[in-house]
Amino acid sequence: MERMPLARHRRGRTKGRVLTAGLGAAALGSAVVIGGTSLIAANATGRPEPTCAPTGCSSSEDRKSKGARESASPKRSAIALPPGVPASAKPTPKPVKAALGPLYVDSEGQAVEWVAANSGDSRVGLIRDRIADQPQARWFAVDNPGDVRGEVRTYAARAASRGRVPVLVAYNMTNRDCGGASAGGADSADGYRTWIGNFASGLGSGTSIVVLEPDALPHLTDCLSADGHQERLDLLGYAAKTIKQQSPKARVYYDVGHSAWLGPSEAASRAKRAGAARYGDGIALNTSNYRTSGAEVAYGKRVLAALGGGQLVVDTSRNGNGPAGDGEWCDPSGRKLGRNPTTATGDAQVAAYLWVKRPGESDGCSGAAGQFIAETAYELSS
């Protein structure tokens, strides 16, 4: 459970994510969070300032306790299905969609800025080639309903003009991160509906990949009342449905954690109750975490079988060496970049390997959550 957008890194010393990824000077008001996350907001100078919000800012301790529970069969929560879906309903298996095109390389972001500003540094070549020049997700984690449409439109249009597929993370759920390091999000259900509606309307008519609300489903029963459970499920269903209505070519993947968090049947149950079988294209795994691709694909296929079909995407940004032996999630040493982002996976059930978390952006231990640390980036790349 080590991811956090908004810096999208882990929360403080908890396993979470901190939103930070991908906020360039021009990305005012946007936060890109993915894997280990921290939120980033732009200051008066136009420079992003990381703040530990979603790590997403999922807490490390939360994730550890969840991993420990995962060995046991997860108990199904008494969570109501979305309106109009009978308890016995079984989704029709989804046909496998055509392969996605090449992914968009964001021209903004902290790694890009660092490379441009440090041409004399001996590490520049490696960091540029291995990180800055690779496709990465952009996180939208600021509760800015008046601005998010334009920010998404600009980003999506830039990708479309290059014939590439952008990856976006929608990260503004109410009671985000259960008040942990990546706390924040919309202040009400109505506020979230407005925000996600504007987010969706900015996507346009092109193909895009949307990772939907990291940790929202894994954290479902951690800090919400029974009414809160249903509200969150309804909001996730509303989000996916709205994105599909506004942008039919968008691919929506519900974040369900990773292989050491929820059991496959529980992950599928929560996703199904949130409308994933009706409105989604599949599931997103390992956001801001370090689990190996093999473990995530095997786990994800079990979730998809229980869900009734669809595809999966895996965050491979920092999983080249797998998780740290001691379970440390906050900027552990010895980690490496995983497989480069690609939609050419060779597996019909795997839509893409993505870098949701932006490599080199801190979880909050090697620097401020979401801050780009050149030495971390270099170690990951070496």
Six-digit token pair at 209?
């990949």
What average pLDDT does this structure show over 55-84? Answer: 36
**pLDDT exceeds 90 at position 53:** no
**pLDDT exceeds 50 at position 37:** no
What average pLDDT does this structure show over 83-95? Answer: 46
What average pLDDT does this structure show over 219-231? Answer: 94
Question: Is residue 114 a known part of a binding site?
Answer: no
How many domains does the chain divide into?
Answer: 1
Question: Is residue 336 a known part of a binding site?
Answer: no
* CATH for 209: 3.20.20.40
Task: Give pLDDT, residue 8.
Answer: 40
Q: Which contacts (CB < 8 Å, 24+ apart) does range 147-153 have?
A: 147/29, 148/29, 148/30, 148/195, 148/198, 148/199, 148/202, 149/198, 149/199, 149/201, 149/202, 150/202, 151/27, 151/28, 151/29, 151/30, 151/202, 152/198, 152/199, 152/202, 152/203, 153/202, 153/203, 153/204
**pLDDT exceeds 70 at position 220:** yes
* Active site amino acids: 215, 363
- For residue 45, name the pLDDT band (cuts at 50, 70, 90): very low
What average pLDDT does this structure show over 198-221? Answer: 98
Domain containing 122: what range?
A: 39-69+94-381
Decide which of 370 and 37 is more confident.
Answer: 370
Residue 312 lies in a domain: yes
CB 317 within 8 A of CB 258: no
**pLDDT exceeds 60 at position 259:** yes
**pLDDT exceeds 60 at position 58:** no
Residue 223 lies in a domain: yes
Question: Is residue 361 a known part of a binding site?
Answer: yes
Residue 79 lies in a domain: no
Six-digit token pair at 55?
């790590």
Decide which of 60 and 351 is more confident.
Answer: 351
What average pLDDT does this structure show over 219-232? Answer: 94
Question: Is residue 357 a known part of a binding site?
Answer: yes
**How far is Cα 13 from Cα 378, in angstroms, rounded to an integer?**
23
Task: Give pLDDT, residue 258.
Answer: 97
Contacts of 117 (CB under 8 A, 6+ apart): none
Question: Is residue 15 a known part of a binding site?
Answer: no
Residue 297 lies in a domain: yes
- For residue 211, name the pLDDT band (cuts at 50, 70, 90): very high
Residue 292 lies in a domain: yes
Task: Give pLDDT, residue 48.
Answer: 37
Share of the chain above pLDDT 70, in %: 75
Query: 90-99, 102-111, 173-182, 244-253 — which is least confidently predicted?
Result: 90-99
Tell me the range of 25-34, 45-54, 358-367 where mean pLDDT is highest.
358-367
Decide which of 326 and 84 is more confident.
Answer: 326
DSSP H/E element including 65: helix 60-70
Task: Give pLDDT, residue 93.
Answer: 54
Q: Give exposure, 27-56, as e/b (b: 16+ Cβ within 10 Å).
A: bbbbbbbbbbbbbbbbeeeeebbbbbbbbb
Nearest to 279 by CA among 379, 365, 200: 200
Residue 229 has, within 13 A of its CA and on its CB side, a CA count of 15
**pLDDT exceeds 90 at position 3:** no
Task: Give pLDDT, residue 96.
Answer: 61
Residue 33 lies in a domain: no
Average pLDDT, the chain: 82
Residue 245 lies in a domain: yes
Q: At what angle do helices 189-201 and 226-246 cross, to 10 degrees?
A: 20
Task: Give pLDDT, residue 97.
Answer: 73
Residue 8 lies in a domain: no
